Amino acid sequence: MKRSFAALALAVTAAVHAGPMGFNGSTMAMGDFSPNWKEAWVNRAVTPRDAFGAGGLQMRSDDKRLTRNLSELTYTRLVHRINGEHSQANFWFVGGAGQLTGNDFGGSKTMLAPGVSADYETTRFYASASARLYRAQGINHDFVSARTGFSFYEVDYDETQPWLIVEARRMRGLSEKMEITPMLRLIHNRYFVEFGVNNMKQGRFNFMYIF
């Protein structure tokens, strides 16, 4: 039970790490896939600082006995940006609300998931941290994660840039394990892909594409 909710929260939060919205007027599609959860969502930036989105998520517990489905509407806000001479730092708010169903309870539950995140990046270095509350009736799973990484070399923006990213994430009260996933990230001007294997030997693939 606890593991399944951990999977839920991890999946919903994953997109935050990827950069939660694109430039004004753009539509961003994101996906996060691994054996225990499969997620896809899309959002539309209606201003340079605001985006609305919708997503779907399927997940299961590590022992494969419990499954969960979440349909969620999201609102993303770029609260503050600091532009440095060779860097950028962002502070984000992400709010989500949706219906959660599972194979161990009837009907559905309304889940609310407000969160904040911050990131700092240069053309060669990346770091981020996020925290998000996951609350529904009888459910309380707060989540934190951190990511850092570097690019192997600089490229022109229309060339593919490889990065090594390491992510650590944990959900209070659900698992004593800290999940750590090293991933290779490839960024091109309209998309990025990430793939890696976590410390539980599970493969993971993420993507993001901007229309």
Partner 1 sequence: MKTSIKLTTIKSIAASACIIWATANFNTVFAATSVQATVNGMVCAFCAQGIEKSLMKMPATKAVFVDLKKKIVAVEAKDGQTLDGKQISAEIKDAGYDVVKLETVALSVDDIKAAMKTKK
SS3 assignment, position 13? helix
Report the distance separating Cα 61 and Cα 80, nearest Å: 36
| Residue 78 found at the interface with partner 1 (CB under 8 A) | yes
| Residue 83 found at the interface with partner 1 (CB under 8 A) | yes
**Do the Cβ atoms of 63 and 57 come closer than 8 Å?**
no
Beta carbon nearer to partner 1, 75 or 125: 125
Among 13, 145, 161, 206, binds partner 1 (CB under 8 A): 161
Name the minimum Å distance from CB 170 to partner 1. 27
Site for partner 1 in 87-106 (CB under 8 A): 87-88
| Residue 122 found at the interface with partner 1 (CB under 8 A) | yes
| Residue 168 found at the interface with partner 1 (CB under 8 A) | no
Q: How far is CA 119 from CA 8, 63, 86, in A?
A: 22, 34, 14
Report the distance separating Cα 6 and Cα 158, nearest Å: 37
Beta carbon nearer to partner 1, 150 or 198: 150
Report the distance separating Cα 57 and Cα 125, nearest Å: 30
- Pattern of binders to partner 1 over 25-64, x per CB under 8 A? xx---------------------xx---------------
| Residue 186 found at the interface with partner 1 (CB under 8 A) | no
Beta carbon nearer to partner 1, 31 or 98: 31
φ and ψ at residue 183, rounded to 5 degrees: -135, 145
- Reported for 96-100, long-range contacts at CB under 8 A and 24+ positions apart, including other chains, are 96/12, 96/72, 97/72, 97/73, 98/70, 98/71, 98/72, 98/73, 99/70, 99/71, 100/8, 100/68, 100/69, 100/70, 100/136, 100/139
Among 58, 116, 188, 202, binds partner 1 (CB under 8 A): 188
Among 65, 79, 81, 103, binds partner 1 (CB under 8 A): 81
Q: Which two tokens stand for residue 154?
A: 């600089």
Stretch that binds partner 1, among 4-12, 99-107, 181-189, 199-207 (CB under 8 A): 181-189
Question: Interface residues with partner 1 (CB under 8 A)?
Answer: 19, 22-26, 48-49, 78, 81-88, 121-123, 154, 156-158, 161, 187-190, 210
